[in-house]
Structure 1
Amino acid sequence: MIEYELLKIIWWVLVGVLLIGFALTDGFDMGSMALMPFVGKDDEERRAAINTIAPHWDGNQVWFITAGGALFAAWPMVYATAFSGMYWALLLVLFALFLRPVGFDYRSKLENTKWRNAWDWGLCIGGAVPALVFGVAFGNMFLGVPFTLDETVRSTYTGSFFELLNPFALVCGLVSLTMLAAHGGAWLMLRTEGALRTRSAQATRYMGILFLICFLGAGAWLYFGNIEGYTLVTPYDTNGVANPLAKEVLTDANHGWMNNYSIYPITILAPVMAIIGGIIVVLASTKNKAGLSFLGTSFAVIGSILTAGFALFPFLMPSSIHPNISLTMWDAVSSQMTLSVMTVAACIFVPLILAYTTWCYYKMWGVITKKHIQDHTHSLY
């Protein structure tokens, strides 16, 4: 059996991979729909934008479901605390996501302008709201979540929904929203032509610029803004059984969350990657280079998620009330047997998902044009 400490590290990496997979695939779905009412100026252009993701949007959500399932199985305490404490935020995401399947299926059922416009804005909300809330959630991880644990490790959340919408978290939300909107715009550049592609390139450039401003602003706020970072006091038994009550955590308002970048210098590649990706997006979209723009947004997505993960490591959910009970990858984890079984399953199914997804994109690739919409008006979204 694999050593318990190694299994904990493996699942920290795998959950990160699943989050990146979700952001890369379902991210351009949400981003393209967030931009769709603005870049599509008539019904055919909007239908073209919708049908660029039509064969894949529901399959892409497998990454989201898998990441949620992996969180529940690998880190059950984090899952329980997050889903009970941030209940209203998660409901907001859920109801926004509800607009996507019904919007795709019902939007073009009636040839009525008001009907279709309403669903267009519904699809926009269904893309923009989750992208914003996911970033807000990450922002609150850096500030600490107001929860406590009793002697039976039962969590109690003492905050409110509106407390989550603090200025720093909203900036992080804008990082996520602009990043995924740029990703979606680059996707539309790849899959459309003519005026729709030109407007998508302009939107991608604007979103890329805003992403760089927000990303650098959030980093500067984290570095200079007296936000307390958490540090796990060593020595600590990383191979021990899960018990979030058996540790000591120090807080440091002097660049605390940046300590990992000093301890592990290679991790600085993550924010560098995000910044370089944002610069590529701005430059490539200015030249109307779709492939290079999409590569840049992919770099920005991967770099941004890794930046947050590396800065927080090994913390998963810091407590702003009692730092010592913060949940980490070492002590909020499932049993060794559970992680072992999950690792075997992941080794089998993750490659299958990757292979199947790649094959689907290969078989269904192509540019969606106005003529294609006109020729298949009754068989497309």
Structure 2
Amino acid sequence: MMMDYETLKVIWWLLVGVLLVGFAVMDGHDMGVGTLLPFVGRDDTERRVIINTVGPHWDGNQVWFITGGGAIFAAWPLVYATAFSGFYWAMLAVLWALFFRPVGFDYRSKIANPLWRKTWDWGLFVGGAVPPLIFGVAFGNLLQGVPFRFDANLVSYYEGSFWGLLNPFALLAGVVSSAMITFHGAVYLAHRTEGEIQQRAVRATLIFGVITLAAFAAAGVWVQAIPGYVIAAGADPAGLPNPLAKEVVREAGAWMANYRQQPLLWAVPALAFLGGLAAIWAVRAGRTFFAFWASGLMIAGIIGTAGVAMFPFILPSSSDPRSSLTVWDSVSSHLTLTVMFWATVIFMPLIIAYTSWAYKVMAGKVTKAYILENEKQAY
């Protein structure tokens, strides 16, 4: 069975969004825990408790990151090539930060030396804090347009600089992303720990939950003053990929057009606020499992809000708006999208099933007693 090309393009926009949300929810709580590690854990035993809440499964959650990158490469090859060229140094910074995670988890507790362990604690902090910040800054730049263009042979040229990415709106988006992931990690810590560690995690949820929702609201107000992008002519949703076949103009308030045309879409940002508030309430009421899923809905709402605002744009160009990449003209062939779709239908349930089984097996509180009784086996 082969669906029509236009439908497949929209399906893959949705699937990439699902993978991004899955990465933010599953690998995000690992990173949030790493960000909180030096602050919530006051001594070596407490920090080992914190590390062991995520140590057994953090690498399994990386599947969402790898799958998301692979899906962008296969479904949106022009986006992958252009974004990784333009954001080259930013992506390298993410990879350098991520290097601290596998080494930190595996070697941090191998040597009973305070300086050794403290150094790796801060390494795990870098590996947890830097990627969400950079991803948020990248999203902020997408909403403003990225300085690239295509020549007649569809060779892309990036005309910006690394420091140009660090503009005020992008930094605000970075705050949203960083606080969101830290909040999610705090909720998870509150679920998996007890005693003083849990109490500190609960306090962190209030701090970072308020920062997330306040920064998200501020970004929503700000984005209305940013000129958005509108396809004026030439885009064929069912046609072959050719970014230069369309005409694009920039208009004030264009990023709000989808919400004006379809008022039901306001449910997406509403989900972010309702999920965040519900998670803050639930974790303080002791309903930590519910709080974790409410936090996940908040994440889905925040990421979905940006996606809905930009649709059908994926990578707008500030240098040459016509070169902007959209859902319609940056995709792979009809056959490729079809094969990938059926592969996803088969393998996505398997990923969800084994992830669910792993979390069920490793459910429960991690305590100081467990660490002391398993000195050699624990992280």
TM-score by length of structure 2 reads 0.98
- Two-structure CA RMSD over aligned residues (Å): 1.1
1:241-268 superposed Cα distances (whole Å, 9 cap, x missing partner) = 0000000112112x22111101122211
Shift of 1:235: 6.7
* Contact 1:198 1:288 (8 Å CA) reproduced: no
Corresponding position: 1:81 with 2:82:
yes
Matches within 5 A, 1:65-144: 65-144=66-145
In structure 2, give the amino acid aligned to 1:273: L
Give the corresponding residue for 1:306: 304
* Contact 2:272 2:301 (8 Å CA) reproduced: yes
Give the corresponding residue for 1:48: 49
Cα distance in 2 between the residues matched to 1:166 and 1:308 = 18
Give the corresponding residue for 1:168: 169
In structure 2, give the amino acid aligned to 1:248: E
* Contact 1:31 1:127 (8 Å CA) reproduced: yes
CA 1:363 to 1:310, structure 2 compared with 1: closer, same or farther past 3 Å? same
Where does the alignment leave 5 or more consecutive residues of structure 2 unmatched? none
1:42-95 superposed Cα distances (whole Å, 9 cap, x missing partner) = 111111111011111000000000000000000000000011111000000000
Shift of 1:115: 1.1
Give the corresponding residue for 2:231: 232
Corresponding position: 1:321 with 2:323:
no
Shift of 1:109: 1.0
In structure 1, give the amino acid aligned to 2:90: A
Give the corresponding residue for 2:181: 180
In structure 2, give the amino acid aligned to 1:370: K
Give the corresponding residue for 1:380: 378
Give the corresponding residue for 1:13: 14
Q: Which contiguous aligned blocks of 4+ residues in structure 1 show a shift greater than 6 angstroms?
A: none
Deviates more, 1:288-297 or 1:357-366: 288-297
Matches within 5 A, 1:118-267: 118-223=119-224, 226-234=225-233, 236-253=235-252, 255-267=253-265
In structure 2, give the amino acid aligned to 1:252: E
* Contact 2:235 2:245 (8 Å CA) reproduced: no
* Contact 2:234 2:246 (8 Å CA) reproduced: no
Task: Describe the SS at the equivalent of 2:249.
Answer: strand
Shift of 1:234: 4.9
1:14-69 superposed Cα distances (whole Å, 9 cap, x missing partner) = 11111111111000000011011111111111111110111110000000000000
Shift of 1:299: 1.6
CA 1:96 to 1:88, structure 2 compared with 1: closer, same or farther past 3 Å? same
Shift of 1:221: 0.7
Shift of 1:295: 2.7
Where does the alignment leave 5 or more consecutive residues of structure 1 unmatched? none
Cα distance in 2 between the residues matched to 1:69 and 1:295 = 26
1:198-240 superposed Cα distances (whole Å, 9 cap, x missing partner) = 00000111000100111001111112xx311111125732100
TM-score by length of structure 1 reads 0.97
In structure 2, give the amino acid aligned to 1:276: L
Shift of 1:287: 3.4
In structure 2, give the amino acid aligned to 1:251: R
In structure 2, give the amino acid aligned to 1:368: V
Shift of 1:284: 2.9
Give the corresponding residue for 2:295: 297
